[in-house]
């Protein structure tokens, strides 16, 4: 019989936030796969637990993943934990969970703390729907695209950021969403927990002058209104032009536009026939 992979949420800072179920799992499993073994060893010592502790992080190679899977196949129960909060949310645990499921190994979530939900719950922004973007790329087209997505999002947007890059993130948000309110949640559940709210420009100025320390979660208030719908006509013209340039017949282009963009065949035919 294969073992079970438990995905265990651990405290963001306050050890009292660990659930009794999570504590029991960590005391009884024979292996713990941890993002940072030094940090997790402190938690295990606090619990009086002594499982085999193995590292599993963003830079772990395939060999380490195979080792963990082999331990599970040998019947050893394992807990997957991140530095803090819920594993696989903006950390590398997803690969292990996916591989375990593919191998037919049982995966059991042990819910608990999450920086995303914790920060959002204390902002006063609407939380019935939200967009989580995690850590944005430091630069490049993907960062630009995600910043634009955040700026036009109807619902609250939650992001993570490292202290040295917080001011840059807030400055970038101020460029695409001027005047929008945001909250910077720092050191959640810890002794120096802090929530600072204001327009993104003001927050950018404050943190440029007072560089933060500790773990950070940023929540950007949504626009409150749906984004403007994309211009399907212009998209269809662009796509049709590319398909025609590839040598497809106009009839085939009409069919593809109908399937991919949801245009009626009459509208797609009219659009394609009007192209030079």
Q: What is the DSSP string of 72-116?
A: HHTT--EEEE-SSBSTTSSSTHHHHHHHHHHTT-EEEEE----HH
What's the pLDDT score for residue 230? 61
User: Considering Cα of 26, then 28, then 32, then 36, what sign does the dihedral take?
Assistant: positive
Exposed (0-12), middle (13-18) or buried (19+): which is 188, by Cβ within 10 Å? buried
Q: Are 132 and 158 in contact (CB under 8 A)?
A: yes
Q: Which residue has the tokens 């404050």?
A: 206
- Any residues with CB less than 8 A from the CB of 166 and at least 6 apart, and which? 184, 207, 211, 212, 216, 218
What's the pLDDT score for residue 236? 85
Question: pLDDT for 200-229, tens place per residue?
Answer: 999 999 999 999 999 999 999 999 998 766
What's the pLDDT score for residue 102? 97
pTM recorded for the entire structure: 0.81
What's the pLDDT score for residue 92? 78
Domains of the chain and any CATH numbers: 4-113 (3.40.1010.10), 116-220 (3.30.950.10), 232-274 (no CATH)
Question: pLDDT for 114-172, tens place per residue?
Answer: 999 999 999 999 999 999 999 999 988 889 989 999 999 999 999 999 999 999 999 99
- The helix or strand, by DSSP H or E, that contains position 209, with its residue range, turns out to be helix 200-209
Question: pLDDT for 32-59, tens place per residue?
Answer: 999 999 999 999 999 999 999 999 998 9
Question: pLDDT for 62-90, tens place per residue?
Answer: 999 999 999 999 999 999 999 999 999 88
What's the pLDDT score for residue 259? 81
**Mean pLDDT score, 20-32:** 98
What's the pLDDT score for residue 228? 65
**Mean pLDDT score, 169-183:** 96
The first and second tokens of residue 165, run together, are: 């890059």
């Amino acid at each position: 019989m294969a073992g079970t992979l438990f995905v265990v949420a651990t405290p963001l800072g306050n050890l009292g936030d660990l659930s009794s179920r999570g504590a029991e799992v960590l005391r009884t499993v024979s292996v713990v796969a941890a993002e940072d073994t030094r940090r997790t060893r402190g938690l295990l010592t606090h619990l009086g637990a002594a499982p085999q502790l193995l590292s599993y992080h963003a830079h772990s190679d395939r060999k380490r993943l195979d080792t963990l899977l082999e331990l599970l196949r040998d019947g050893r129960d394992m807990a997957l934990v991140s530095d803090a909060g819920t594993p696989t949310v903006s950390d590398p645990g997803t690969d292990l969970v996916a591989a375990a499921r593919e191998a037919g190994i049982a995966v059991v979530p042990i819910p608990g703390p999450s920086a995303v939900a914790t920060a959002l719950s204390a902002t006063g922004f609407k939380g019935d729907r939200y967009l989580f973007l995690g850590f944005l790329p430091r630069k490049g087209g993907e960062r630009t695209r995600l910043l634009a997505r955040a700026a036009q999002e109807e619902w609250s947007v939650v992001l993570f950021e490292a202290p040295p890059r917080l001011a840059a993130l807030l400055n970038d948000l101020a460029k695409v969403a001027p005047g929008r309110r945001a909250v910077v949640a720092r050191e959640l559940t810890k002794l120096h927990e802090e929530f600072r709210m204001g327009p993104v420009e003001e927050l950018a100025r404050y943190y440029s002058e007072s560089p933060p320390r500790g773990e950070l979660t940023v929540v950007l208030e949504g626009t409150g209104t749906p984004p403007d719908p994309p211009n399907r006509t212009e998209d269809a013209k662009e796509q049709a032009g590319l398909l025609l340039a590839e040598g497809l017949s106009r009839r085939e282009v009409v069919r593809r536009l109908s399937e991919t963009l949801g245009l009626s065949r009459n509208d797609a035919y009219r659009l394609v026939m009007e192209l030079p």
